[in-house]
Amino acid sequence: MKKKLVVLSGPSCVGKGPLRHAVKRYHPEITLAELVLCTSRRPRLKSDTKTYEVHGIDFYFFPRSMFGQLDLSRFIVADVRSDAQAIDIMQVRELLQAYDIVLIEVFHALGRALTDRVKSQPDLDFDIRSVFLTPLSEFEIQNMTEAGNKTSEQIVYEVMKAKLERRGEDPAHRIEERARSAFHEMQAASYYTDAIVNHAGEDDRKEWSDPLGKEAQRVLDEFIIILKS
Protein backbone atom coordinates (compact mmCIF):
# COMPACT_ATOMS: atom_id res chain seq x y z
CA MET A 1 0.00 0.00 0.00
CA LYS A 2 1.27 3.45 -0.87
CA LYS A 3 1.97 5.64 2.15
CA LYS A 4 -0.66 8.20 3.01
CA LEU A 5 -0.87 11.57 4.73
CA VAL A 6 -4.38 12.16 6.10
CA VAL A 7 -5.38 15.67 7.20
CA LEU A 8 -8.44 15.82 9.50
CA SER A 9 -10.16 19.14 10.16
CA GLY A 10 -13.47 20.68 11.18
CA PRO A 11 -14.94 23.16 13.69
CA SER A 12 -14.15 22.89 17.39
CA CYS A 13 -16.22 20.17 19.14
CA VAL A 14 -17.31 18.53 15.86
CA GLY A 15 -15.87 15.18 16.99
CA LYS A 16 -12.36 14.93 15.58
CA GLY A 17 -10.83 13.69 18.85
CA PRO A 18 -13.42 10.95 19.53
CA LEU A 19 -13.09 9.77 15.93
CA ARG A 20 -9.30 9.42 16.24
CA HIS A 21 -9.66 7.48 19.49
CA ALA A 22 -12.29 5.20 17.93
CA VAL A 23 -9.92 4.31 15.10
CA LYS A 24 -7.33 3.12 17.64
CA ARG A 25 -9.89 1.29 19.77
CA TYR A 26 -11.86 -0.55 17.07
CA HIS A 27 -9.31 -0.90 14.27
CA PRO A 28 -5.99 -2.06 15.74
CA GLU A 29 -5.12 -3.50 12.34
CA ILE A 30 -4.52 0.07 11.13
CA THR A 31 -1.08 1.23 12.18
CA LEU A 32 -0.77 4.98 12.01
CA ALA A 33 1.19 7.80 13.56
CA GLU A 34 -0.31 11.09 14.72
CA LEU A 35 1.50 14.37 14.30
CA VAL A 36 1.77 16.55 17.41
CA LEU A 37 1.12 20.22 16.68
CA CYS A 38 2.60 23.29 18.35
CA THR A 39 0.10 25.67 19.95
CA SER A 40 0.18 28.91 21.90
CA ARG A 41 -2.87 28.13 24.04
CA ARG A 42 -2.66 26.68 27.52
CA PRO A 43 -3.35 22.97 28.23
CA ARG A 44 -7.07 22.27 28.48
CA LEU A 45 -8.81 20.09 31.07
CA LYS A 46 -10.31 17.08 29.31
CA SER A 47 -13.93 16.51 30.26
CA ASP A 48 -13.78 12.73 29.80
CA THR A 49 -10.66 11.97 31.87
CA LYS A 50 -10.62 15.08 34.10
CA THR A 51 -6.89 15.43 33.36
CA TYR A 52 -5.04 18.22 31.60
CA GLU A 53 -3.56 17.88 28.12
CA VAL A 54 0.08 16.81 28.17
CA HIS A 55 2.99 18.62 26.53
CA GLY A 56 4.50 16.48 23.78
CA ILE A 57 1.51 14.13 23.62
CA ASP A 58 -1.54 16.29 22.94
CA PHE A 59 0.34 19.40 21.78
CA TYR A 60 3.65 21.16 22.15
CA PHE A 61 2.65 24.13 24.29
CA PHE A 62 4.81 27.18 23.55
CA PRO A 63 4.42 30.91 24.33
CA ARG A 64 2.89 33.04 21.58
CA SER A 65 6.13 35.03 21.16
CA MET A 66 7.99 31.89 20.08
CA PHE A 67 5.88 31.41 16.92
CA GLY A 68 7.29 34.54 15.33
CA GLN A 69 10.78 33.09 15.67
CA LEU A 70 10.12 29.74 13.94
CA ASP A 71 11.99 28.90 10.74
CA LEU A 72 9.31 29.10 8.03
CA SER A 73 11.29 26.76 5.78
CA ARG A 74 10.63 24.06 8.37
CA PHE A 75 7.39 25.16 10.06
CA ILE A 76 3.95 26.11 8.75
CA VAL A 77 2.50 28.74 11.10
CA ALA A 78 -1.03 30.13 11.18
CA ASP A 79 -3.38 31.98 13.49
CA VAL A 80 -6.10 29.76 14.92
CA ARG A 81 -8.75 32.15 16.16
CA SER A 82 -6.94 34.05 18.95
CA ASP A 83 -4.15 31.47 19.23
CA ALA A 84 -1.29 30.33 16.99
CA GLN A 85 -0.45 26.84 15.77
CA ALA A 86 2.44 25.38 13.83
CA ILE A 87 3.27 22.18 11.94
CA ASP A 88 6.81 20.82 11.89
CA ILE A 89 7.42 19.67 8.30
CA MET A 90 10.48 17.70 9.37
CA GLN A 91 8.35 15.70 11.79
CA VAL A 92 5.89 14.94 8.99
CA ARG A 93 8.68 13.58 6.79
CA GLU A 94 10.18 11.51 9.60
CA LEU A 95 6.84 9.92 10.46
CA LEU A 96 6.14 9.07 6.82
CA GLN A 97 9.44 7.22 6.67
CA ALA A 98 8.45 5.05 9.63
CA TYR A 99 4.68 4.61 9.15
CA ASP A 100 2.30 3.82 6.28
CA ILE A 101 -0.30 6.35 7.48
CA VAL A 102 0.28 9.69 9.20
CA LEU A 103 -2.80 11.41 10.61
CA ILE A 104 -2.89 15.11 11.41
CA GLU A 105 -5.81 16.75 13.24
CA VAL A 106 -5.47 20.41 12.39
CA PHE A 107 -7.22 23.77 11.99
CA HIS A 108 -8.41 24.21 8.40
CA ALA A 109 -5.98 27.02 7.51
CA LEU A 110 -3.02 24.90 8.57
CA GLY A 111 -4.44 21.84 6.85
CA ARG A 112 -4.72 23.66 3.55
CA ALA A 113 -1.25 25.20 3.89
CA LEU A 114 0.26 21.78 4.66
CA THR A 115 -1.49 20.14 1.72
CA ASP A 116 -0.33 22.89 -0.65
CA ARG A 117 3.25 22.68 0.67
CA VAL A 118 3.39 18.90 0.28
CA LYS A 119 1.84 18.88 -3.18
CA SER A 120 4.42 21.40 -4.38
CA GLN A 121 7.22 18.95 -3.68
CA PRO A 122 8.63 17.09 -6.72
CA ASP A 123 8.38 13.30 -6.98
CA LEU A 124 5.73 12.90 -4.29
CA ASP A 125 5.85 9.26 -3.17
CA PHE A 126 2.74 9.17 -0.95
CA ASP A 127 -0.95 9.97 -1.24
CA ILE A 128 -2.73 12.86 0.47
CA ARG A 129 -6.31 12.72 1.68
CA SER A 130 -7.94 15.62 3.50
CA VAL A 131 -11.11 15.01 5.51
CA PHE A 132 -13.43 17.71 6.84
CA LEU A 133 -15.91 16.85 9.60
CA THR A 134 -18.99 19.03 9.51
CA PRO A 135 -21.80 19.13 12.12
CA LEU A 136 -24.55 19.69 9.55
CA SER A 137 -25.02 18.95 5.86
CA GLU A 138 -25.80 21.73 3.41
CA PHE A 139 -29.25 20.17 2.95
CA GLU A 140 -29.92 20.28 6.70
CA ILE A 141 -28.80 23.90 6.96
CA GLN A 142 -30.99 24.87 4.01
CA ASN A 143 -34.04 23.16 5.51
CA MET A 144 -33.47 24.82 8.89
CA THR A 145 -33.04 28.20 7.20
CA GLU A 146 -36.27 27.82 5.25
CA ALA A 147 -38.15 26.69 8.35
CA GLY A 148 -37.36 29.84 10.33
CA ASN A 149 -36.12 33.39 10.16
CA LYS A 150 -32.47 32.59 10.81
CA THR A 151 -29.50 32.76 8.50
CA SER A 152 -27.21 29.80 7.84
CA GLU A 153 -24.55 31.47 9.98
CA GLN A 154 -26.96 31.88 12.91
CA ILE A 155 -28.00 28.24 12.70
CA VAL A 156 -24.43 26.95 12.74
CA TYR A 157 -23.54 29.33 15.59
CA GLU A 158 -26.42 28.09 17.76
CA VAL A 159 -25.72 24.41 17.05
CA MET A 160 -22.01 24.71 17.82
CA LYS A 161 -22.49 26.91 20.88
CA ALA A 162 -24.82 24.30 22.37
CA LYS A 163 -22.29 21.55 21.64
CA LEU A 164 -19.43 23.50 23.19
CA GLU A 165 -21.47 24.29 26.29
CA ARG A 166 -22.40 20.62 26.72
CA ARG A 167 -18.74 19.59 26.30
CA GLY A 168 -17.83 21.92 29.16
CA GLU A 169 -14.10 22.29 28.45
CA ASP A 170 -13.90 26.01 27.62
CA PRO A 171 -14.64 29.31 29.40
CA ALA A 172 -17.55 31.36 28.10
CA HIS A 173 -15.46 33.72 25.94
CA ARG A 174 -13.76 30.75 24.22
CA ILE A 175 -17.11 29.09 23.56
CA GLU A 176 -18.38 32.29 21.98
CA GLU A 177 -15.26 32.63 19.85
CA ARG A 178 -15.34 29.05 18.61
CA ALA A 179 -19.08 29.03 17.94
CA ARG A 180 -18.86 32.33 16.00
CA SER A 181 -16.03 31.07 13.80
CA ALA A 182 -17.57 27.66 12.99
CA PHE A 183 -19.63 28.82 9.98
CA HIS A 184 -16.66 30.49 8.31
CA GLU A 185 -14.46 27.47 9.02
CA MET A 186 -17.03 25.25 7.32
CA GLN A 187 -16.60 27.25 4.11
CA ALA A 188 -13.20 25.54 3.77
CA ALA A 189 -14.82 22.10 3.43
CA SER A 190 -14.97 22.38 -0.37
CA TYR A 191 -11.17 22.43 -0.51
CA TYR A 192 -10.89 19.04 1.18
CA THR A 193 -10.97 15.77 -0.76
CA ASP A 194 -13.61 14.28 1.55
CA ALA A 195 -16.36 15.60 3.82
CA ILE A 196 -18.15 13.60 6.50
CA VAL A 197 -21.27 14.88 8.25
CA ASN A 198 -21.08 14.06 11.96
CA HIS A 199 -23.99 14.78 14.30
CA ALA A 200 -22.21 13.10 17.22
CA GLY A 201 -19.78 15.76 18.38
CA GLU A 202 -17.46 15.75 21.37
CA ASP A 203 -20.42 16.70 23.56
CA ASP A 204 -22.15 13.38 22.81
CA ARG A 205 -20.09 11.11 25.05
CA LYS A 206 -22.70 8.34 25.09
CA GLU A 207 -22.52 8.05 21.30
CA TRP A 208 -18.75 7.52 21.45
CA SER A 209 -18.77 5.16 24.44
CA ASP A 210 -18.40 1.39 24.11
CA PRO A 211 -20.22 0.17 22.11
CA LEU A 212 -20.44 3.03 19.64
CA GLY A 213 -23.80 4.59 18.88
CA LYS A 214 -25.30 4.35 15.42
CA GLU A 215 -24.13 7.80 14.30
CA ALA A 216 -20.58 7.41 15.65
CA GLN A 217 -20.32 3.98 14.00
CA ARG A 218 -21.37 5.41 10.64
CA VAL A 219 -18.80 8.21 10.85
CA LEU A 220 -16.07 5.77 11.89
CA ASP A 221 -16.93 3.41 9.02
CA GLU A 222 -16.73 6.24 6.48
CA PHE A 223 -13.40 7.38 7.87
CA ILE A 224 -11.95 3.85 7.85
CA ILE A 225 -12.82 3.52 4.16
CA ILE A 226 -10.78 6.65 3.50
CA LEU A 227 -7.84 5.38 5.56
CA LYS A 228 -7.84 2.01 3.80
CA SER A 229 -8.62 3.13 0.25
Secondary structure string (H, E, C) spanning the chain: CCCEEEEEECCCCCCHHHHHHHHHHHCCCCCEEECCCEECCCCCECCCCCCECCECCCEEECCHHHHCCCCCCCEEEEEECCEEEEEEHHHHHHHHHHCCEEEEECCHHHHHHHHHHHHCCCCCCCEEEEEEEECCCHHHHHHHHHHCCCCHHHHHHHHHHHHHHHHCCCCHHHHHHHHHHHHHHHHHHHHCCEEEECCCCCCCCCCCCCCCCHHHHHHHHHHHHHHHC
Measured CA distances, 140 to 80, 144, 146, 157, 224 (Å): 27, 6, 10, 14, 24
Q: Is the pLDDT of residue 101 over 80?
A: yes
* Residue 148 C-beta-side C-alpha neighbours within 13 Å: 10
Q: What confidence score (pLDDT) does residue 224 get?
A: 97
- Domain coverage including residue 94: 4-228
Model confidence pLDDT, tens digit, residues 118-142? 878 777 778 889 999 999 999 999 9
Cα–chain center distance at 109: 11
Q: What confidence score (pLDDT) does residue 174 get?
A: 92
Question: How many domains would you assign to the chain?
Answer: 1
Q: Indicate the pTM of the whole model.
A: 0.90
The CATH number of whichever domain residue 163 belongs to comes to 3.40.50.300
Q: What confidence score (pLDDT) does residue 147 get?
A: 86
Model confidence pLDDT, tens digit, residues 30-79? 989 999 999 999 998 876 677 999 999 999 999 999 999 999 999 999 88
Q: Across residues 144-168, what is the average pLDDT?
A: 93
Residue from 228, 207, 189 nearest 19 by CA: 207
DSSP-assigned beta bridge partners for residue 129:
6
